Amino acid sequence: MKPDDWHLHLREGAVLNKVLDFSSKVFSRALVMPNLSNPVISPLKAMEYKKEITKRLGRNSEFTPLMTLYLTESTKPQIIKELKRGHIITAIKYYPAGATTNSTNGIKSFKTILPVLEEMAKNDIPLCIHGELPGEEYDIFDREKLFIDLVLDRIISIIPDLRITLEHITTLDAIQYIKHANKNLAATITVHHLMLNRNHMFQKGIRPHYYCLPVAKREKHRKALLQTATSGNKKFFLGTDSAPHLSRDKESDCGCAGIFSAPYALNLLAGIFEEEKKLDNLEKFVSINGATHYNLPVNTNKITLVKRDSPIKVRNHIKVNNDKVMIFGKDFDIYWEIKLPKNESF
């Protein structure tokens, strides 16, 4: 069955134009993140953003962008019923203020938003969480565990009925917490966190294109993610967190976080599952578990992956305006190829 991407940054304007095809030709649906420079904080803005995306899709495109709303401390509980009725958004996104790209309008204290979360639980609207406790005083490698212990665990104990996706998890601690939590908690895992540990960011020099948030952790965490993602456990599924940034913004004095992984995400995953001898579980991870968590039908359309005898030619970057966006995958041998319908290419 065709896969879905449960965490995707498509951006706007020129970048959106250039990156959309990579997801829309391979994935059936994607949960589109709302952290634009002017974030998607209202249903109206979500509708406008959806229109901006859909007008760029080809006439015969089978792709559906699923929209998210950016939660702020000013989001009103009353808006939730309206959202439920309008079927405008699929989930609401919780960014701790200062945790990542465009998160300044995010949440400072989870206590402020408890009434909104209560209303979401009543109306069965899922919450997606960037699970890191921001703050200079916290070691960057500990921020996911701290968020789980000090925020997530408290939210779940107050509102156990709220459906939650802990996004782009990076630690064994998160895996263990999720496995033991109630059925309403699930998690996305990215392709890059299955492939990179923290040393890769410093391999023979500093590698800005391997820097993302949450930052890659120790090898033991990567191994645990690998084992969990390929296990078929229905609480874990793919969210690529493909996050394009212009090279000049990443290769700078203060380079920003994000890895553009959409172009080879599925190809790389096929290789990973094959190596783990778990190809049978690939469909669960990319096509079934996420849809089940979001209470949506599993796709019926299909996609074909073919294993080549020699590595395929991997593109290194795409051009955007006078700059480029580097593509994740160029440092690896990729043997799996996606067979697109005749007359289609990227």
Q: What minimum distance in Å lies between the beta carbon of 309 and ligand NCD? A: 34
Exposed (0-12), middle (13-18) or buried (19+): which is 297, by Cβ within 10 Å?
exposed
* The residue to which tokens 């009543």 are assigned: 122
Task: Name the 3-class secondary structure at 84.
Answer: helix
Ranges within 292-331 binding Zn ion (CB under 5 A): none
Residue 101: which of Zn ion, ligand NCD, none does it interact with, CB under 5 to 8 A by kind? ligand NCD
Q: Between 215 and 269, whose beta carbon lies closer to ligand NCD?
A: 215
Q: What minimum distance in Å lies between the beta carbon of 313 and ligand NCD? A: 27
Residue 163: which of Zn ion, ligand NCD, none does it interact with, CB under 5 to 8 A by kind? none
Residues 225, 238 contacting (CB under 8 angstroms): no
- Active-site annotation holds for 241: yes
Q: Between 35 and 287, whose beta carbon lies closer to ligand NCD?
A: 35
Residue 125: which of Zn ion, ligand NCD, none does it interact with, CB under 5 to 8 A by kind? none
Q: Which residues bind ligand NCD (CB under 6 A)?
A: 9, 35, 100-101, 130, 212-213, 241, 243, 257-258
Query: Among the options 4, 5, 21, 241, which is catalytic?
Result: 241
Q: Between 22 and 336, whose beta carbon lies closer to Zn ion?
A: 22
Q: What minimum distance in Å lies between the beta carbon of 122 and ligand NCD? A: 27
Ranges within 217-256 binding Zn ion (CB under 5 A): 241
Residues contacting residue 27 through CB under 8 Å, at least 6 positions apart:
2, 3, 4, 5, 63, 266
Q: What minimum distance in Å lies between the beta carbon of 35 and ligand NCD? A: 5
Q: What minimum distance in Å lies between the beta carbon of 244 and ligand NCD? A: 8
Reference 8, options 105, 19, 55, 18; nearest CA is 19
Residue 200: both structure tokens together: 């890769």
Element (H, E) at 289: helix 289-293
Residue 163: both structure tokens together: 């459906």
Residue 222: which of ligand NCD, Zn ion, none does it interact with, CB under 5 to 8 A by kind? none
Q: Between 5 and 241, whose beta carbon lies closer to Zn ion?
A: 241
Residue 258: which of ligand NCD, Zn ion, none does it interact with, CB under 5 to 8 A by kind? ligand NCD
Residues contacting residue 293 through CB under 8 Å, at least 6 positions apart:
126, 163, 165, 186, 234, 235, 237
Q: Between 25 and 193, whose beta carbon lies closer to ligand NCD?
A: 193
Q: Give the span between the Cα atoms of 138 and 11, in whole angstroms.
A: 29
- CA atoms in the 13 A half-sphere facing the CB of 69: 28
Catalytic residue positions, numbered: 241
